[in-house]
Amino acid sequence: MATYLDEILVAHRHAAEQDERDLADLERAARSATAPRSLSDALRTPGLSVIAEIKRRSPSKGPLALDLDPVHLARSYEGSGAAALSVLTDHDFFGGSFDDLALAREATSIPVLRKDFTVSLRDVFDARAKGADALLLIVAALDDRELGEFHREAIDLGLDVLVEVHDDDELERALRIGATLIGVNQRDLRTFEVDTERAARMIASFPPEVIAVAESGVSSADDASRLASIGFDAVLVGEHLVTATAVGTTLRALVGHEVGERPSVRR
């Protein structure tokens, strides 16, 4: 039976196959874009950093905030202490767009991550050309050649790359390509169910020099505090924020918890 991830990847890979835009033109546009803001630097500041997400819908839960104003929400996030923004640009499954990303970036001074399913070099160049400061590479969605090539090209363009993993095997693949910014997604992309213990199980395997991000499953200040205490540098939070009745208050409760010592097995 097809999973959520299967369905999404089939759609994105089909779109990539149909994309006839000239790769060299896209690369030139990417290299001439405004200099990116550093996501890595933003997440290295003292205390737990929050990457606050602009997310309109979910494949499993349906509409979350279809009518959100990306400018208002981005400014609210920045004013309430977000270190960076994450913007969904997938339209068919998440209701996002590059318009959301462009508007959010223009309205703020913090780095913006393009949150999407990157499956081709055109996706990498397009992200930079359209204003993203960082992009997401999902290890489960890519083979080793794609993962290495997309990561290398993105870094060469000046983008930061959040490499997303779900288990220790995927973490090993991320480390082999030299990833220095790695997120543990506690949401299983095949079932879209959340395992709130996944991040805790994996943190010990992170080298101390890697910026560790916990994704999904953060729904309270206690969750944020716990993840900080075991060594996570940042959390990426979407649904908890876009569905909150008081976004600023909710976000401020997540920001700045003291990051604990990471119990790395690689020291």
Residue 15 near residue 118, CB atoms below 8 Å: no
User: pLDDT tens for residues 225-256?
Assistant: 999 999 999 999 999 999 999 999 999 999 99
* Structure token pair of residue 48: 């737990």
**Amino acid letter, 237:** V
Please choose, from the candidates 215, 130, 129, the residue with its C-alpha nearest in 3D space to the C-alpha of residue 170.
215
Residue 115 bears catalytic tag? yes
Please choose, from the candidates 8, 192, 41, the residue with its C-alpha nearest in 3D space to the C-alpha of residue 118.
8
Residue 205 bears catalytic tag? no
Instruction: Give the least confident one: 41-45, 189-193, 260-264.
Output: 260-264
pLDDT at 60: 83
Residue 178, CB half-sphere, CA atoms under 13 Å: how many?
A: 9
* Structure token pair of residue 133: 């400061």
- Residue tagged active-site, from 58, 86, 205, 216: 216
Angle formed by the axes of helices 121-129 and 23-31, to 10°?
A: 40
- CATH code matching the domain that covers 4-252, chosen among 3.20.20.70, 3.40.50.1820, 3.40.50.2000, 1.10.3720.10: 3.20.20.70
- Residue tagged active-site, from 49, 86, 185, 219: 185
pTM of the model: 0.94
Whole-angstrom distance, CA of residue 219 vs CA of residue 62: 18
User: pLDDT tens for residues 76-134?
Assistant: 999 999 999 999 999 999 999 999 999 999 999 999 999 999 999 999 999 999 999 99
pLDDT at 94: 95
Residue 3, pLDDT > 90, answer no
Residue 222 near residue 34, CB atoms below 8 Å: no
The helix or strand, by DSSP H or E, that contains position 199, with its residue range, turns out to be helix 198-202
User: pLDDT tens for residues 144-167?
Assistant: 999 999 999 999 999 999 999 999
pLDDT at 59: 87
User: pLDDT tens for residues 204-219?
Assistant: 999 999 999 999 989 9
CA dihedral 100, 141, 147, 198 (to 10 degrees): 90
User: pLDDT tens for residues 17-45?
Assistant: 999 999 999 999 999 999 999 999 999 99
Where are the domains positioned within the chain? 4-252
- Residue tagged active-site, from 164, 170, 205, 239: 164
